[in-house]
Amino acid sequence: MNGSGLVPVTSWFPGFSDKPLIIAGPCSAETEEQVYRTAEGISQIGRVKIFRAGIWKPRTRPHSFEGVGVKGLHWLKRIKEDFGFYTLVEVAYPKHVESCLHHKVDMVWIGARTTSNPFSVEELANALKGTDLPVLIKNPINPDLDLWIGGIERLRKNGITKLAAVHRGFYPFEKTALRNIPKWELVIELKRRIHDLPVITDPSHIAGNTKYIGSISQKALDLEMDGLMIECHINPPSALSDADQQLTPAELGLLLDNLTYREVSDYSPRRMGQLERFREQIDSIDNQLIELLSQRMNVIDKIGRYKSHNNITILQLRRWENIIATRTELGHDLGLSEQFILRILQLIHKESIQRQVEIMNRLKNKNFNPGEE
C-alpha cells in the first residue's frame, strides 16, 4: 500500500506489472460466439490482460438492448479459462456484485450514470466490502469533480483499496466532434487531490467514434495516466451498443503498436492543468464559431431563395458597406483590429455570395426543367 492506502495497479494480481494497463473488450457481451471470438482476437495482440464486457447495460432509453444478464458471466468464465484474461464487468446493483462474485469475475466497474448517484455508490460500496475485488469508478456524467471524489471516498471508507478512477469524459451540452468532453484539467486535479490514485482513460467513450481513439489514447499516455480501457468487438458494425466506437481486435493491435510509450514526461500537474483549461476553452469557442458560421450560412441560403423568388440581385452594395462599418466598429470596441475583421468579413461574404449564386442557378434550372431536384 502507498500513502493514500491504495494498492498500486501493478500489485492487484500476480504477474500484473504492466503499465500502462490495457483493458479491452466489447461494450456489451451479446452472444457466446461474439465474446469468444473477440477474446481470441484480443489475446493474439499479446498485451491486454483484462477483458471487459457489459452484461447489464445502462441505456439512455428503455427498449434498447439492455444486456444479456447472468448468462454472459458463463461466457466470461470460459474466456478466462481459455485465454487467461482477468474479467471486468459493470455493476450497478448489489445483486450484480453477488452474481459477479458467484461467477468468479475478477474486477468490477461502476458506470458513469451510477457514479452520479451517491445512494447507489454507497450500496455498491457496502456490497463490495471485504471482497478484495479491484473496483474501477467512472467519472459522473456531469463535470462534478467532488461527486467523483465522493464516490471514491465511499469505496475507500468501506475498505476497498484496489481502486482506480476511469476517465470517460463529460456530457457535452453543445454539439462537439467528441461524444464526451474530456476536460483533462479535471482529471489532473483529481490526481493532485488523491495522490497515487490510478487513473485509467476510456478513449472509446470520450471519442464516440473510432477515428479519435488513437489521439486520445496518446494524450492519456502523455499525461501519465495509468491505463487505457478500449472497446473492441469482433464485428463492430453489428454491435448492439456503441457500434461506432468499437475497434476490431486487429485495429486495436495496430493502435497499441502505434502509441508512443514515454518513459518520463516533463508533466507537471499544475502547468498542464492550466494549459489544458485554456485549450478546453479554445476548443469550445472554436466549436461555437463553426456552429455560428453554419447558422449564418443557413440564413444566407434562405436569403438566396427569397431573392431568387423576388428577382432581387445578390449583391446589395449598401448593405455590404453597412455590415463592414458596423462590424469593424464592434471589433474595434472589443480590441480587434479593423484589418482582421475586414479579412474575416470578406471571406464570409465571398462564401455567402457563392452559396446564393448556386441556389439561384439551381432554382433557375429547376424552372427550366421542372421535375428535376
Q: Which residues bind ligand PEP (CB under 6 A)?
A: 27, 54, 58, 111-113, 138, 168, 205
CB of 58 to ligand PEP, least distance (A): 6
Q: Which is nearer to Mn ion, 14 or 237 (CB)?
A: 237
CB of 183 to Mn ion, least distance (A): 19
Helical (H) or strand (E) element with 52: strand 50-52
CB of 242 to Mn ion, least distance (A): 4
φ/ψ (deg, to 5) at 51? -110, 120
φ/ψ (deg, to 5) at 89? -135, 150
Q: Choose from Mn ion, ligand PEP, none: what does 167 bind? Cβ within 5-8 Å by kind.
A: none
112/114 Cα distance (integer angstroms):
5
163/6 Cα distance (integer angstroms):
7
Cis peptide bond N-terminal to 172, omega within 30:
no
260: CB partners within 8 A, 6+ apart: 218, 221
Q: Which is nearer to ligand PEP, 113 or 349 (CB)?
A: 113
3-state percent breakdown (helix, strand, coil) of the chain, nearest 5 = 55, 10, 35
CB of 315 to ligand PEP, least distance (A): 51
Q: How many residues bind Mn ion (CB under 5 A)?
A: 2
Q: Choose from ligand PEP, Mn ion, none: what does 162 bind? Cβ within 5-8 Å by kind.
A: none
Q: Which is nearer to ligand PEP, 28 or 99 (CB)?
A: 28
Q: How far apart are the first and last CA of the chain?
A: 70
Q: Which is nearer to ligand PEP, 113 or 355 (CB)?
A: 113
Sketch the per residue contact string, 238 through 277, with Mn ion: x for CB under 5 A, - otherwise. Answer: ----x-----------------------------------
Sketch the per residue contact string, 213 through 242, with Mn ion: x for CB under 5 A, - otherwise. Answer: -----------------------------x
CB of 156 to ligand PEP, least distance (A): 20
312: CB partners within 8 A, 6+ apart: 306
Q: Choose from Mn ion, ligand PEP, none: what does 233 bind? Cβ within 5-8 Å by kind.
A: none
Other Cβ atoms less than 10 A from the Cβ of 314: the count is 16
Residue with cell 478484495: 132
- Please give the single-letter amino acid code of residue 44: Q
Please check whether residue 33 is in contact with residue 59, taking contact to mean a CB–CB distance below 8 angstroms. Answer: no
CB of 202 to ligand PEP, least distance (A): 6
Q: List 126's β-bridge partners, or say none.
A: none
Q: Which is nearer to ligand PEP, 203 or 331 (CB)?
A: 203
Binding residue for Mn ion (CB under 5 A) from 24, 27, 121, 229? 27
CB of 166 to Mn ion, least distance (A): 12
| Nearest Cα to Cα of residue 27 among 220, 227, 217, 244 | 244
Q: Choose from ligand PEP, Mn ion, none: what does 168 bind? Cβ within 5-8 Å by kind.
A: ligand PEP
Q: Which is nearer to Mn ion, 202 or 226 (CB)?
A: 202
Q: Which is nearer to ligand PEP, 168 or 233 (CB)?
A: 168
Please check whether residue 1 is in contact with residue 47, taking contact to mean a CB–CB distance below 8 angstroms. Answer: no
Give the residue nearest to Mn ion (CB): 27
166/89 Cα distance (integer angstroms):
13
Q: Which is nearer to ligand PEP, 169 or 331 (CB)?
A: 169
C-alpha cell at 201: 482513460
CB of 204 to ligand PEP, least distance (A): 7
Name the site residues for Mn ion (rule: CB under 5 A): 27, 242
